[in-house]
Structure 1
Amino acid sequence: MKRALPILLAIAGLTAVAAFGGWTFYAGSSIGGGWSSLGPIMLYVVGGLLVVGALTGGLMWLAFHSARHGYDEPYDVNRPGGGRPDSKV
């Protein structure tokens, strides 16, 4: 029972988020000109989504790359080479 409760809460939370997302799409169809008014700016919407996705992916790659190569390790001024294992000193 201890393991089932967090799983059930997570499922309930995801269901609530999905229901809210569905409601926003339904309610958005009656605001202004509806979805048909997005036609002239759809290129900018899709372009913005692609740029944000690429930027997110690039920054995540950079974070994992720096962590994998030891750039995130603290520098120790009291040890030769800063105490990093890959130092050539």
Structure 2
Amino acid sequence: MKPYLVAIAAMLPLLTYAKDNSLSYPRRAEALRIDGHVKVIYDVNNKGVVENIRFIEASPKHSFEKSIREQMRHWHFKANDAKRDVPLDVTFKAN
């Protein structure tokens, strides 16, 4: 299985609300073949924009957080469907 497919599989329940929201394996972590797992909680405002991204767990620390935060800032959901404390678990496997 490709590394990015693991991340997308973790997000499948959320994709029904989303337009083209995905996460790719952070380049540096993939180049170094680093496996990892992160647990994120985030909010979606009334405009459908992701905000208040909080990392609950990250292993290894500082390997995935910056890239995931930057990618999630580009996500968009349906307007007028605000959500709070949406959980997201992502596992990266370098194969």
Higher share in helix: 1
Larger-gyration structure (1/2): 1
Q: TM-score, normalised on structure 2?
A: 0.18
Higher share in strand: 2
Q: TM-score, normalised on structure 1?
A: 0.19
Q: Taking CA–CA contacts closer than 8 Å with sequence separation of 6 or more, which of the two structures ends up with the larger relative contact order? A: 2
